[in-house]
Chains A and B, each alone.
Chain A
Amino acid sequence: MILLNRRQVLLGGAALAATLAIGAPAFAQVKDRPVKAAFVYVGPIGDFGYSFAHDQGRKYLAEKLGDKVQTSYVENVAEGPDAERVIRQLAQDGNDIIFATSFGFMNPTLKVAKQFPNVKFEHATGYQTAPNMSAYNSRFYQGRAVLGTIAGMMSKSGKAGYVASFPIPEVVMGINAFTLAARKVNPKFETQVVWVNSWYDPAKEAQAASALFDQGADVITQHTDSPGPLQEAEKRGAIAFGQAWDMTNFAPKAHMTAIVDQWGPYYVSRVQAVMDGTWKRSDVWLGMKEGEVEMAPFNAAMPDNVKAAAQKIVDETKAGTFEIFTGPIKDQSGAEKIAAGTVVPDADLLKMDWYVEGVRN
């Protein structure tokens, strides 16, 4: 227990008043000391998936800005009240900017942001912002269109298995982008979805992949975070793709490529903005063009025409001339959902709750 005497309380009050006075010009530059940046992760950094990729971003930040930044992180933070406690603690500890990296941290972050107007907050994959709270997200689906192209060209059975976590818009978007791209090269292509109702359960993910192979799939893709499905594909001599990071190690033969989440450059730009005093609320959804979504090196075993087709999707996406969610798009019943030439707007993508033709769920 901390005992305060009256003098300390008075001093504290004076300090507080001084802080408030200095704090009045919001978001002043941080020059004379390192910027303190904290990260909050939903999973363990050792998951080799989503939280691992965010932590790679933190390391990138530390490497780029050197001693101008001081980073820290808290892993395994449960979504809900616990998150609020952690985020508030980080704000009290004098962090200048706090990155809360999971959808479920949105409301706790907003609440704490209102209590700490001089701290900057950044929330990943949500939709709420405040004067001192930004939102950022990544267009993972652009990478899934590349995977779908490869799957459509390389699959012999024309049947893909999709190991999926939870039916939320981000996952549905991925399933649709993958299937649309595959059907462009093989109109009969089908994607069978298996929901494992978990972000991370290596054994169950591997068993789901195994069941999909048993049922005739010869290519697997996943929206869960472990390399389990890849290892199963390696055993079966099938092909598969990494999730969130290059997983070649786990399946040198089966691993065709992977979606790599590159959060690092965004983290550098935001911390740099804090240093320069130019930080402002923003709401961004970056993708391949900005380097936030990257593809891992293509497997050498991929035929040249497949490599070329996959690279073409990457290049055109970066150039802005290719957008996977461009009509005509039919839904599962075969009815036209998006008219020819229409591009699905971001707002609709973010609440996507229907499947394209060829998805079996």
Chain B
Amino acid sequence: MNEALVVAIIVAIVTSATPILIAALGELVVEKSGVLNLGVEGMMLIGAVTGFIVSVTTGVPALGALGGMAAAAAASLIFAFLTLTLTANQVATGLALTIFGTGVSALAGASFVGITTPIFGPVFPASLSTDPIWRVLFGYSPIVYASFALTFAVWWFLKHSRAGLVLRAVGESDASAHSIGYPVLKVRYCAVLFGGAMAGLAGAYYSLVLTPMWAERLTAGRGWIAIALVVFASWRPGRLLLGAYLFGAVITLELQAKAAGWSLFAPEFLTSLPYLATILVLALISGRARTRSAAPACLGKPFRASA
């Protein structure tokens, strides 16, 4: 295996891990606050289509990414209103949000099928990424660097900030948090909005970076992988990063092995590898009592403030 191939594989792993990581980070914060939002896939599609439309109309992909975040956050606000204010069932509402996102993104994007947008490509000058080693460091879209910063920020926020402590308290015991005067609903609204914005950014990554185009169901189910990843990481940002990269690596190596013509395994086996890896790790961690109880205690339960 030569140097160029190793570099190409590393770049491909980073490329496929990034959107899953970003969407999962958002969902992690949402779940830490005690809310289960299964609408990630729908919000990603809304982010993808809005990001694309804004990028095409303004010609500035960075604005597209921001637009995608704003639109998906707006969609998550509908979810928040239904589940937090009206205490609707979170699982059902989340699923409805995915169906809604699939439909509304198809409708909004109908007249944008078949056109292209400038790619939201490498942020550093091309001269920095001609050398293969430098390409590993400097060859990516700004969203990739943002994903690292976001992982660190979420970790620091949850672990070391006062606001993060409040958010975790709300997720672990909303009644106690409420009784000592923390605004449970406000905290959860903010968390859901953050989750929406992250899903939107992840979606925009597909329509602006990976395949700069719009087509219906562009994200092809990656939102569900992001949700699974949160459980996989037992609600810890560091493990989330590892998990996303493990997943990215398995996806990449599967395709590389096929492209290299390895006939040791059936193609169907290679395709199922990412999912087998997920099941294996889930089985391993769920066997341990500590991680089994890692889920926020109030996850998915509606909260009604009692006087």
A: residues with CB less than 8 A from B are 44, 46-48, 52, 161, 192-198, 200-204, 206-208, 210-212, 214-215, 217, 226-228, 231, 235, 249-250, 360-361
Most chain-A Cβ atoms within 10 A of its Cβ — which of B216, B259, B260? B259
Q: Is the CB of B212 within 8 A of A198?
A: no
Interface membership of B114, Cβ < 8 A: yes
Inter-chain contacts of B307 with A (CB < 8 A) = none
**Chain A residue contacts of B258, Cβ below 8 A:** 193-195, 208, 211
Within the complex, the shortest CB–CB distance from B201 to chain A, in Å, comes to: 15
Asked whether B218 is an interface residue with its Cβ less than 8 Å from the other chain, the reply is yes
Residues of B within 8 A of A200 (CB): 215, 217, 220
Closest to A228 in B: B211
Residues A208 and B255 in contact in the complex (CB < 8 Å), given A195-B271, A360-B261: yes
Which of B4, B5, B113, B211 contacts A202 (CB under 8 A)?
A: B211
**A52, B113: Cβ atoms under 8 Å?**
yes
> B256: which of A195, A198, A202, A215 is its contact (CB, 8 Å)?
A215
Instruction: Provide the main secondary structure of the chain B interface.
Output: helix
Taking a contact as CB atoms under 8 Å apart, the answer to whether B213 and A198 are in contact is no
Q: A203-B16, A203-B219, A204-B220 are in contact. List 19 more A-B contacts (CB 8 A).
A: A44-B217, A46-B110, A195-B271, A198-B220, A202-B206, A202-B213, A202-B218, A203-B218, A208-B255, A210-B8, A214-B9, A226-B215, A228-B213, A231-B211, A231-B213, A235-B119, A249-B114, A249-B115, A361-B267
Q: How far is the CA of A227 from the CA of B114 in the complex (A)?
A: 9
3 residue pairs, one from A and one from B, having the closest CB atoms:
A44-B216, A211-B259, A211-B255
Residues of B contacting A44 with CB < 8 Å?
A: 106, 215-217
Chain B residues with CB under 8 Å of A161's CB are: 259
A193 proximity list for chain B (CB < 8 A)? 258
Chain A, Cβ-Cβ closest to B112:
A46
Q: How far is the CA of A360 from the CA of B261 in the complex (A)?
A: 7
B5: chain A residues within 8 A (beta carbon): 214-215
What are 29 contact pairs spanning A and B, CB under 8 A? A46-B110, A46-B216, A193-B258, A194-B259, A195-B258, A195-B271, A196-B255, A197-B267, A197-B268, A200-B215, A201-B220, A202-B206, A202-B220, A203-B218, A203-B219, A206-B210, A207-B12, A208-B258, A210-B255, A211-B258, A212-B259, A214-B8, A214-B12, A215-B259, A227-B211, A228-B211, A231-B213, A250-B116, A250-B213
Please name the residue on chain B nearest to A245 by beta carbon: B114
Q: CB of B15 within 8 A of chain A?
A: yes
Q: CB-CB < 8 A to B16: which residues of A?
A: 203, 207
Does residue B227 face the partner (Cβ distance < 8 Å to A)?
A: no
A215 to B8, CA, bound (A): 10
CA distance A47 to B213 in the complex (A): 11
Asked if B183 is at the interface of the complex by the 8 Å CB criterion, the answer is no
Minimum CB–CB distance for B41 against chain A, Å: 13
Closest B residue, CB atoms, query A203: B210
Given contacts A203-B206, A215-B259, A249-B116, contact A46 B12 (CB under 8 A): no
| A197 CB, nearest partner CB in chain B, Å | 5
Does B222 belong to the interface (CB within 8 Å)? yes
